[in-house]
Amino acid sequence: MIGQGAVSATKTSVVMIGAGPAGLLLGRLLGLAGIDNVVLEQRTRQYVEERIRAGLLEHPTVEMLKFAGVADRLESNGQFDDGFELRFEGVRTWVPTADLTGGKQTVLYPQQEVVKDLLRARDDTGQPIVFEALDVALHDSDTERPRVTYRDPDGAEHAVEADFIAGCDGFHGPSRETIPARLRQEFQQDYPFGWLGILADVPPSTRELIYAHHDNGFAMHSRRSPTLSRLYLQVPPDTDAQEVSDRFIWDELQTRLGTQDDWTLAEGPILQKSVTAMRSFVVEPLQHGRVFLAGDAAHIVPPTAAKGLNLAVSDVSVLSEALIARYRGAGEELLAAYSTTALRRIWRAQEFSRHMTALLHHVPGSEFEARLQRARLQNLVKSEHTMAAFSELYVGLPFEGHPERFI
């Protein structure tokens, strides 16, 4: 019984809700294994392709995108980093993350470019993707034949029946709610600050990333291209970006990034500015019946270590392995273990994201805490062991499952 009252009713093996990195990568990996799947996305293609977000790719993420055959542009246009610079009290310390992890580089490559590469790969295979799928609803998710219904922009009803539903619909999507409240645990922490991010029409004043701690707050210098700089400032969480003057932004960046040597920060026209709130969030478990959550639907990290996209990819690595194993006749053991397996790495990344956030941001109020924070920064720059442990988490822990076993 599918789609009572629906004008179209489709059957597939796996239906993904959401065409972000999680849903698109899962669809790609299932497709490579010959498993048919459908992606349903509420927004337009243009919106999805142009949504701008941080883009620091961990080493295992890059390896996964290569494995999925979607890394050609990333390899030619991405900016491969061997480490980053840490600044506090005007002193610069180079943290050689690649050397400390046996050569694992991180790559700056904008998230919307990853999405474009995945969409193009999907176009090439002709697998179905529906944009502007409105009022998406999940039905019978704890039965053998779950179903997803939606409306198209003309108001016609559609239904997709599948073996499994992947909830890749981000933090605000409907999938998480299919886990009954009595079985669902949500863990959340908000931070007393946000990030004001700017895009500036000026060549970066740095070859690699700079993270700075200052009594005025955190600052960061990233880059988007040889002529475009991306910079961030810690601000109060309720800041209205449009109310902050460009002069104030550059003055704060000059102060917080300032060094005792002759390094200078080049200024230029600010093309965009926006404020991001900071939150840590995890839901447990990641599964109910035949619905599996992956990516931002399951967790949110503060942006300091840019782990969001990478965690989505690691979830999908574990989930795709489990789904493909099931279709290869290897049973549902890995699927049953998905939530526990994925959560182990999710919590480790949560811990690192919070650690790096607490290490670098200024929390007014306690001078005792401020002294401890400085001691923690000293511990990091003075000890190669501490730096190596930090680097291992920064470049990305290995994934706990990988579809290569079955593809």
Q: Residue for token digits 């061997």? A: 82
Amino acid at 149: T
Q: Cβ of residue 353: shortest distance to ligand PHB, in angstroms?
A: 9
204 binds, among ligand APR, ligand PHB, none (CB under 5 to 8 A by kind): none
The residue from 83, 217, 295, 396 that contacts ligand APR (CB under 6 A) is 295
Q: What are phi and psi of 228, to 5 degrees?
A: -125, 130
> C-beta of 234: minimal distance to ligand PHB in Å?
13
Pick from ligand PHB, ligand APR, none: which does 42 bind, CB < 5 to 8 A by kind?
Answer: ligand APR
Site for ligand APR in 314-333 (CB under 6 A): none
Q: Which is nearer to ligand APR, 172 or 182 (CB)?
A: 172
Asked whether position 396 contacts ligand APR by CB under 6 A, the answer is: no
353: which residues sit within 8 A by CB, 6+ positions away?
Answer: 280, 301, 302, 304, 305, 307
> In the set 78, 110, 308, 401, which binds ligand APR (CB under 6 A)?
308
Q: Is 1 exposed, middle or buried (0-12, 13-18, 19+ CB in 10 A)?
A: exposed
What CA–CA distance (Å, rounded) separates 385 from 389? Answer: 6
Beta bridge partners of 159: 9, 149
402 contacts: CB under 8 Å, gap ≥ 6: 64, 317, 321
What residues from 153 to 212 belong to the interface with ligand APR (CB under 6 A)? Answer: 168-170, 172-174
Closer to ligand PHB by Cβ: residue 87 or 230: 230
**Minimum separation from the CB atom of position 27 to ligand PHB (A):** 26
Residues of this chain, 108-137, that bind ligand APR according to CB under 6 A: 111, 133, 136
Residue with nearest beta carbon to ligand PHB = 222
Q: Is 18 a binder of ligand APR (CB under 6 A)?
A: yes
Return the number of the residue (244 or 306) whose C-beta is nearest ligand APR: 306
> Can you list the alpha helix ranges (DSSP code H) found in 107-151?
111-125
Residue type, 296: D
Among positions 296, 334, 390, 395, the unique one binding ligand APR when judged by CB under 6 A: 296
Under 8 Å between Cβ of 312 and 185: no
Is 243 in contact with 258 (CB distance < 8 Å)? Answer: no
| Pick 151 or 355: Cβ nearer ligand PHB | 355
Binding site residues, ligand PHB, CB under 6 A: 54, 56, 108, 209, 222, 230, 303-306
Phi-psi region of 222 (alpha: psi -120 to 50; beta: other; left: phi over 0): beta
Q: Which of 15, 22, 293, 387 binds ligand APR (CB under 6 A)?
A: 22
Burial class of 24 by CB neighbour count within 10 A (0 to 12, 13 to 18, 19+): buried
Return the DSSP state at 238: T
Q: Residues interacting with ligand APR, by CB under 6 A?
A: 17-23, 40-43, 48, 53, 111, 133, 136, 168-170, 172-174, 295-296, 308-309, 312
